[in-house]
Structure 1
């Protein structure tokens, strides 16, 4: 069924050429018996490529709609929507003898963690690996397939409603492509990482993906999604309180944040600080929410007004950089591009925009660029540039670094 003879459908699984179209698609797995058989087979493989299709437009948490998996000689699609018991799948994700290969793994891991409390390990993320090998910042799966395998992965069905049934053959073929091409992408990237000795460069990024804290969002931090610049202390306090209340409500009801209260409404309430339903109902952006959520909104406003001023976030954190710091950031950005080009690595993996801003503002900031393998490659050079011990210039029409 799902265990396919490669000669019947595709080239051998480690060959970088899927020239032949699949003659037939494996049956979609909808029973726990077939799922267990599949997962038992995959448990005997050195790795499994994994992808999920999900929807979250109408929910707070993503709704799992489809699971795709592949390994040498194996490819399968699993339909979880008939209330399928996915315990064999989650057991496979927890099996440390099998490497789990994803592309841009964060949302897939979030779903597995949300549903089963399992973090797939050991983990290989082909997007991160591609960054370490100079294939650009956050390269898409389709672009990576094109670059490494010289194949086009049709993205026609990328944005469809994967919860609708039945799924047609073209949709299933597209879904399978997300894991079948991934086998060869993984093989190529893994080989290149071993050749260049860059495998340790991935460890910090993978550690973030496999940390359960990455997927736990504290409602008390929800204000960080909103803009506080230019707001009074009272307004900032109300925004913090409303954002936390909205996050809790969205989590409890499993609905999008905007369905509880839109950002525009939070800003308007923060501006006027209403203390009665009558005053609240006069606010245009909140009017439709007063009947169902008015009391809760007013309780949040009262809590905000009673908040200790020392607990209100400082708007200064959102102030623009000074002219001098901005100029330093630009120089650091040029240095980053030069070093990245020399190393053939994605700039974003060496240092983020936030790293550059903190490097420009502080002498010894706590940033990833000054830790681990990044420090000797870029961090020390950034500090030397700031301290006048290193200069940037042009050599043979390219930016070059000159020690002073």
Structure 2
């Protein structure tokens, strides 16, 4: 393992000479808000390395410079968590990137295919998963554990070349652009605390309830980040819902809530919660959050959604693209209810050409579904 800055500089210099490199990380986050980086694995067609970011005195600056090198494509599988770590520690986003999980969906390998499944399909190689649940923060790591970690980037080289070649041969390389743009966006990893409430399930509807939920969730987000602990260690989701509904204005009222541990209401956190509740309730009604009311779906909409699901499945099978990457259930419901006015990804770009146009014709009567030789097919009128 690389455990000195000088060795890391040399490794990154050699990797930077390649058109692409494969990247993976091993981390722990069960007891922290921010992932604790334990290993970095990198490979190019000629080189492969494991880096110990926990090594004393190791400076990751050469690694971050490599991540920012726009001449080198950074290849990940299911990139979001790896990029989140790089963004948090290096305050940068790798560019350009290629996510093999997304590419695999576009190439017809199914929805959210795992790395070992993809390696099995592309290389016919079985990955030994017995080291998957390793505590990667412990030292020393065994040769078996290091071999397992390195396999996450060595097989990825062949997977990348296979998928890249297939995308280019089928003229689908640009289909990944939108998804990669999301993964390269700061907003994906740097959600303002004020928006943290939007991650919660929308069990509440009233503006006052939503305002309290917004303020309390923002406080929890700031606390969790500052203390580097999971959000649930600060305050559980159920407690936020109850606080938003009951709106306790003093410690006595807070202490009566079922989700609040006995005595917690008199802590500094309890006082902070009361402050957030009262601040939220003091907002003018016009400044409180409002959930958009969905128009009542026309009669027969659900039946139309079921037909659209069949059409989506047919499209997915015909073109060898995972249905998940073309459209989701919300897209179908909006198309069924709103037609061409629906603001969904399925009615934009390549998705519209592949599925959206047919979907609009289906709900307007221009396309029908029929059985032919015990199979369903779409027919344009």
Work out whether the TM-score is over 0.5.
Answer: yes
Distance 1:322 1:80, change over 3 A: farther
Which residue of structure 2 lines up, in the alignment, with residue 178 of structure 1?
Answer: 152
Equivalent pair of 2:204/2:210 in contact (CA under 8 Å): no
Q: Distance in 2 between matches of 1:115 and 1:301?
A: 33
Equivalent pair of 1:60/1:257 in contact (CA under 8 Å): yes
Which residue of structure 1 lines up, in the alignment, with residue 282 of structure 2?
Answer: 306
**60, 65, 72: which one aligns with 1:86:** 60
TM-score relative to the length of structure 2: 0.93
**360, 371, 374: which one aligns with 1:383:** 360
Which residue of structure 1 lines up, in the alignment, with residue 117 of structure 2?
Answer: 143
Q: Distance in 2 between matches of 1:136 and 1:212?
A: 28
Q: How many residues align?
A: 377
TM-score relative to the length of structure 1: 0.88
Report the 3-state secondary structure (helix = DSSP H, G, I; strand = E; otherwise coil) of the residue aligned with 1:287.
coil
Greater alpha carbon shift after TM alignment, 367-376 vs 390-399: 390-399
Deviation at 1:315, TM superposition (A): 5.0
Deviations 1:252-310 (CA, angstroms, capped at 9, x unpaired) = 22221111111111122223221111221222321353224111000111012112223
Greater alpha carbon shift after TM alignment, 175-184 vs 262-271: 262-271
Deviation at 1:320, TM superposition (A): 9.7
Deviation at 1:168, TM superposition (A): 1.4
Q: Cα RMSD (Å) of the superposition?
A: 1.9
Which residue of structure 2 lines up, in the alignment, with residue 14 of structure 1?
Answer: none
Which residue of structure 2 lines up, in the alignment, with residue 62 of structure 1?
Answer: 35
Q: Distance in 1 between matches of 2:122 and 2:241?
A: 47
Equivalent pair of 1:228/1:315 in contact (CA under 8 Å): no
Unaligned runs of 5+ in 1: 1-27
Deviations 1:83-139 (CA, angstroms, capped at 9, x unpaired) = 420111111111122211111111111111111122222211111111111000111
Which residue of structure 2 lines up, in the alignment, with residue 52 of structure 1?
Answer: 25
**220, 231, 240: which one aligns with 1:246:** 220
Report the 3-state secondary structure (helix = DSSP H, G, I; strand = E; otherwise coil) of the residue aligned with 2:300.
helix
Within 5 Å, give how 1:361-400 maps onto structure 2: 361-363=337-339, 364-400=341-377
Which residue of structure 2 lines up, in the alignment, with residue 214 of structure 1?
Answer: 188
Deviation at 1:322, TM superposition (A): 7.1
Deviations 1:47-73 (CA, angstroms, capped at 9, x unpaired) = 111101111111212121110011123
Q: Distance in 2 between matches of 1:108 and 1:52?
A: 6
Q: Distance in 2 between matches of 1:307 and 1:319?
A: 27
Deviation at 1:230, TM superposition (A): 5.2
Deviation at 1:142, TM superposition (A): 0.7
Deviations 1:183-203 (CA, angstroms, capped at 9, x unpaired) = 111121122122211111111
Q: Distance in 2 between matches of 1:29 and 1:336?
A: 48
Q: Distance in 2 between matches of 1:319 and 1:163?
A: 51
Which residue of structure 2 lines up, in the alignment, with residue 401 of structure 1?
Answer: 378
Distance 1:318 1:216, change over 3 A: farther
Q: Distance in 2 between matches of 1:227 and 1:346?
A: 27
Unaligned runs of 5+ in 2: none
Which residue of structure 2 lines up, in the alignment, with residue 194 of structure 1?
Answer: 168
Distance 1:117 1:151, change over 3 A: same
Q: Distance in 1 between matches of 2:167 and 2:320?
A: 12
